[in-house]
Amino acid sequence: MNRAINFSPGPAVLPVEVLEATSKAVLDFNNTGISIMEISHRSKEFDALIKETQQLTLQIMGLSPDEYSVLFLGGGASLQFLMVPMNFLRNQADYVNTGAWSKKAIKEAQWVGKTNVVASSEEAKFTYIPKDIKFTPDADYVHITTNNTIYGTEWKTIPDTGGIPLVADMSSDFLGIPRDFSKFHLIYAGAQKNVGPAGVTIVVINKKWAEEKGNPNAPTMLNYMTHIKNDSLFNTPPCVNIFVVNQTLKWIQKQGGVEAVYQTNLKKANMLYDFFDANSDFWFTPVKNKEDRSIMNVVVNLPTPELEAKFIEEAKKKHNMTNLKGHRSVGGIRVSIYNACPLEWVEKLVKFMEEFTKVNK
């Protein structure tokens, strides 16, 4: 297998052993003689798989199944932008605007009801995380985006909401950085960045909150209680995707859990940021505050767009490094280094960056 060095922001690289286990299960799931694509979601074998995946998720997050439910839903993280306010925005909700994904979440909330944008970094092109935010005392919830995939910023310290339920879009740093997950009432993440393929969204939700505060009139499929009551088996779930998430969670556990994975993630990120800071007359990091720099998506600029294009092209031609182009809305270079991106890839990349600097500066 000739693996490309893939720095894609998502769908992103998965561990090879996860791909191998999946290719086996596509032919024969757990010696049932049935493919994971063919097996009934009501079979005892699949039931065991989905239950184990839910348990593993909570175990890795350090949460109790008495308090939280794990749901595997369709519609991407983008559908959660709507589902969250549909269920929980009864009077008003607070949102922090830290980028394009936050804005999309805000747009859906505004469609549902009163939405307060209590802080924003838009005036500085989303290059920092707002601090010292004043929340609305009787807001139904506060919504944040923990990692801003496009701009390379990340919340390292979770804000104190003074008891207001906290909801987070963790799509691009879920299980890549240790957090006190019990501080959140609802966490959602499209799987395709850190924990699986596109097509399944993981929702970890406080059951009591959903029971007591959720809108009972929300449409059936968009009502969290529907999925909580049915252990995420109200309708046919994305079975293959859940298998891949299961395998990725086991891989995380084998590495030593989130803390161990995080230590490697930190090394990868620091390798890049240290190089940029040491060569700051050629490599420009838009995120100045070190605390706010993402350890998942590292964004950087060269002196001209032409040099950036040259760097991206040479990385591909010489080293088979792909997907280094920044998001179309901001340009530049973006290196996505999620959990499954090996340390050696980043070492190789930094070596190439050194060479490129020597020749082009």
State in angstroms the smallest separation of the CB of 150 from ligand PLP. 8
Show the 3-state SS of 26-41: HHCCCCCCCCCCCCCC
Taking contact as CB under 6 A, which single stretch among the options 41-49, 165-173, 266-274, 284-292 is the one that binds ligand PLP?
Answer: 165-173
Task: For residue 333, report the phi and psi dihedrals to the nearest 5 degrees.
Answer: -120, 140
Among 140, 173, 193, 325, which one carries the catalytic annotation?
Answer: 193
Nearest to 255 by CA among 191, 195, 192: 195
Length of the chain: 361
The number of residues that bind ligand PLP (CB under 6 A) is 12
**Binding status of residue 149 toward ligand PLP by CB under 6 A:** yes
State in angstroms the smallest separation of the CB of 100 from ligand PLP. 9
Residue 176 or residue 356: which is nearer to ligand PLP going by CB?
176
The two tokens of residue 227 are 């999925």
* Other Cβ atoms closer than 10 A to 335: 26
Q: Which of 140, 154, 169, 308 binds ligand PLP (CB under 6 A)?
A: 169
Taking contact as CB under 6 A, which single stretch among the options 75-83, 116-124, 151-159, 279-287 is the one that binds ligand PLP?
Answer: 75-83
Taking contact as CB under 6 A, which single stretch among the options 128-136, 167-175, 280-288, 326-334 is the one that binds ligand PLP?
Answer: 167-175
Partners of residue 142 on adjacent β-strands: 94, 166
In the three-class reduction of DSSP (H, G, I as helix; E, B as strand; rest coil), residue 240 is classed as helix
Among 101, 155, 209, 345, which one carries the catalytic annotation?
Answer: 101
Taking contact as CB under 6 A, which single stretch among the options 64-72, 74-82, 157-165, 353-361 is the one that binds ligand PLP?
Answer: 74-82
Contact 285, 293 (CB under 8 A): yes
Site string for ligand PLP, 83-102 (x = CB under 6 A): ------------------x-
Residue 88 or residue 101: which is nearer to ligand PLP going by CB?
101
**Binding status of residue 77 toward ligand PLP by CB under 6 A:** yes
Per the annotation, the verdict on 101 as an active-site residue is yes
Among 94, 140, 169, 292, which one carries the catalytic annotation?
Answer: 169
Instruction: Give Rg (Cα) of the chain.
Output: 21
**Binding status of residue 171 toward ligand PLP by CB under 6 A:** yes
Q: Which of 5, 6, 7, 10 binds ligand PLP (CB under 6 A)?
A: 10
Per the annotation, the verdict on 111 as an active-site residue is no
Rounded-to-integer distance, Cα 188 and Cα 205, Å: 8
C-alpha angle 71-293-343 in degrees, rounded to nearest 5: 75
Rounded-to-integer distance, Cα 338 and Cα 163, Å: 31
Rounded-to-integer distance, Cα 274 and Cα 179, Å: 24
Q: How many CA atoms lie within 13 A of 215 on its CB side?
A: 20
Q: Where are the alpha helices (DSSP H) in 99-223?
A: 100-112, 207-213
Residue 122 or residue 344: which is nearer to ligand PLP going by CB?
122
Per the annotation, the verdict on 193 as an active-site residue is yes
| Catalytic residue numbers, as ranges | 101, 169, 193
Point out which residues bind ligand PLP (CB under 6 A). 10, 76-78, 101, 145, 149, 169, 171-172, 190, 193
